[in-house]
Structure 1
Amino acid sequence: MAKPHPHVYFGDRIVDAAQATLGVATSATLYGLSVYTVFPVHVDGAGRTAFRLADHYRRLVESCRIIGMDTFAGEWDFGRFVAAVTELVAANDPAEDVFVRASVHVDESIPGTRVRGCHTTVSMFVYDAVPIVPQDGMRLKTSQWRRIPDSAIPSRAKVNGAYVNSVLAKQDAIDAGYDDAIFLDGNGHVCELSAANIFLVRGGTLITPDVSCDILDGINRRTLLTLAGEDGIPVLERTVDLTELYIADEVFVTGTSAGVAPVLEVDGRVVGSGRPGPISEALRKRHTAALRSDTLHGWVTEL
């Protein structure tokens, strides 16, 4: 299990990890009223680069806007965000690739169930880039728990408290001997995993649930759609039935912490040939290269 590196950005400065604390009476603690994003930082002899940093900053801004956290955007422009990330990564001086988790917390004490006008604090920490799912082939189980609908807690906002839903689903899958869970929506259509978007391939076409299917509009999901289009792979974003996964030629998942990971089994049924498929493998290679040095799309930011 990955551990946080020793130095953390909290409030407006770098502190030791033990000093970055939120009170037990804050909304972040009482209600899970924080939003976050996670992005990779590539480290090599040439320096350090962050992947799609502007998109991750935008996701924080949009998550705050959706939830009604109205102080972050006015206090943090993109330049300040890049400067804080650069300072944090330099303070920890990682020798290998890492993930950075940036959060905006409502740290007002006992304000009740409201959000507008409440004070917020920004935190960021660095941890080793250890994937959260197997990279050589996953076994998935359809969850008995349904995905929270966008009409209850908006799927486009990465709200900390909403991830209780993911914990219930993934723990149930682990207890049953699987690697992760597949969420269905209230109508029984495929949404995503506990913390990753899902794709399938049928007849050479790449298919994924569209953004109206109670899914996170994932940044890596969008990356793969772009790369697939550039490679001439037909792409469909639409409603997906669970049984389509059973007869797919390939199934794979993606996310910052998941990478691009093939799925070899769904609900006890072998997917395709039982091995990673050619489209998922090709996109995994393209994705890995993009994380490290993609200047064509402007996806990497030097730190």
Structure 2
Amino acid sequence: MRVRETNSKNALTEVETKMADQATQKVYLNGQLVDKQQAVVSVYDHGLLYGDGVFEGIRVYSGKVFRHEDHIDRLYESAKAIRLEIPIDKSKMLAAVNETVAANGIVDGYVRLVITRGSGTLGLDIRRTSDPQVIIIADTISLYPEELYENGLRIITASTIRNHPSALSPRIKSLNYLNNIMAKIEGTDADSLEALMLNHKGEVAECTGDNIFIVKNGVLKTPPTDAGILEGVTRNVAMELAREAGIEVVEMTLLRHDIYIADECFLTGTAAEVIPVVSLDGREIGDGKPGPVTQKLRQRFQEYVRE
């Protein structure tokens, strides 16, 4: 009986703690910091109804927003590409992100910045929408278990291909992530936390949430932007750090064959950071362990973000 009482008390404490966290967490919504439970948008918002909007995921390290301007520039470029006018300028957006991070006491964490088309009528006509919503969430994130950073991911190739770039540019970070989600489902169904996506030509594009790199004979290779990828901020940082370390970096067309026979492989992303891949479709990459170039770049990345 005492055990039951203790378990009940522990469960109650966990619930109370969770409720307290929700009550104290602040979300930026259209110029105001509001409690998490009060951060609501209309059910007629086209971001909800049609995935009509753009977003950015941004890391915070040691209280500093990482590559802040790069992310904000990409946000505004994505919005311009879909003819979505963000109601505040870049300088105010930068300040709003910093304000939200500070209000939530985030030292090491993650920011999700969302711009929706705004509420409107049922139907696709953007002329019948108004008041784009600016939403900033500052929280913590852990995409993969720590042991996978040490031992490496095992991934599969999804049958779901990357959207055709002539249909929707992969450089637009759109709220509509169904293409990636369908590929992710294939991965999780196969007990893999990531999945490789090919483009319409059968070439390597990217994974469901990360860019991909391989190492072959000391050369770092990654698909070019015209392969149908999102030009990742962390991807660019990894290439910069590699060049600084004297590693040759080549953006080139890759096939699955190139990954199968690679010496090393790793993924990059804002949430994922730098994580090794040791197997694709049941084929070990290299010796089946994270390689020296991957480990070097991962260590250098961790140092760089806290400089």
TM-score (norm 1): 0.89
> Post-superposition shift, 1:175?
0.9
> Post-superposition shift, 1:132?
4.2
> Structure 2 CA distance, aligned partners of 1:235 and 1:6?
42
User: Which has the higher Rg, Structure 1 or Structure 2?
Assistant: 2
Residue matched to 2:194? 180
Native 8 Å contact 2:65 2:98 kept in 1? no
Native 8 Å contact 2:157 2:197 kept in 1? yes
Residue matched to 1:200? 214
> Structure 2 CA distance, aligned partners of 1:262 and 1:250?
8
1:93-132 deviations in Å (ceiling 9; x for gaps): 13x4100011111112226323367431110001213134
* Aligned pair partner of 1:244 in 249, 258, 271: 258
Q: Is residue 54 of structure 2 the alignment partner of residue 35 of structure 1?
A: yes
> Structure 2 CA distance, aligned partners of 1:57 and 1:188?
32
* Aligned pair partner of 2:113 in 59, 79, 102: 102
- Letter of the 1:102 partner, please give it: L
Residue matched to 1:138? 153
Task: Indicate the SS of the match to 1:287.
Answer: helix
Native 8 Å contact 1:40 1:129 kept in 2? no
* Aligned pair partner of 2:71 in 56, 80, 86: 56
Task: Indicate the SS of the match to 1:86.
Answer: helix
> Post-superposition shift, 1:77?
2.4
1:112-165 deviations in Å (ceiling 9; x for gaps): 32336743111000121313473231011000101112211110111011x111
> Structure 2 CA distance, aligned partners of 1:240 and 1:114?
39
> Structure 2 CA distance, aligned partners of 1:52 and 1:115?
31
Residue matched to 2:12? none
Larger displacement relative to structure 2 (204-213 or 113-122): 113-122
Regions of 4+ moved over 6 Å: none
Task: Indicate the SS of the match to 2:120.
Answer: coil
Residue matched to 1:26? 45
Give identity over the alignment, percent.
Answer: 35
1:194-240 deviations in Å (ceiling 9; x for gaps): 00000001000000000000000001101111111111111110110
Residue correspondence of structure 1 range 1-303 to structure 2 within 5 A: 6-43=25-62, 48-69=63-84, 71-72=85-86, 75-94=87-106, 96-110=107-121, 112-115=123-126, 118-132=130-144, 134-136=148-150, 137-161=152-176, 163-293=177-307
- Letter of the 1:78 partner, please give it: K
> Post-superposition shift, 1:21?
1.4
Native 8 Å contact 2:60 2:109 kept in 1? yes
Task: Indicate the SS of the match to 2:97.
Answer: helix
CA-atom RMSD, angstroms? 1.6
> Structure 1 CA distance, aligned partners of 2:94 and 2:42?
27
> Structure 2 CA distance, aligned partners of 1:185 and 1:85?
34
Residue matched to 1:301? none
What runs of 5+ residues in structure 1 fail to find an aligned partner? 294-303
What runs of 5+ residues in structure 2 fail to find an aligned partner? 1-20
1:249-274 deviations in Å (ceiling 9; x for gaps): 00000000111000011000011011
Number of matched pairs: 282
> Structure 1 CA distance, aligned partners of 2:61 and 2:37?
26
> Structure 1 CA distance, aligned partners of 2:283 and 2:144?
22
Give the helix-richer structure, 1 or 2. Answer: 2
TM-score (norm 2): 0.88
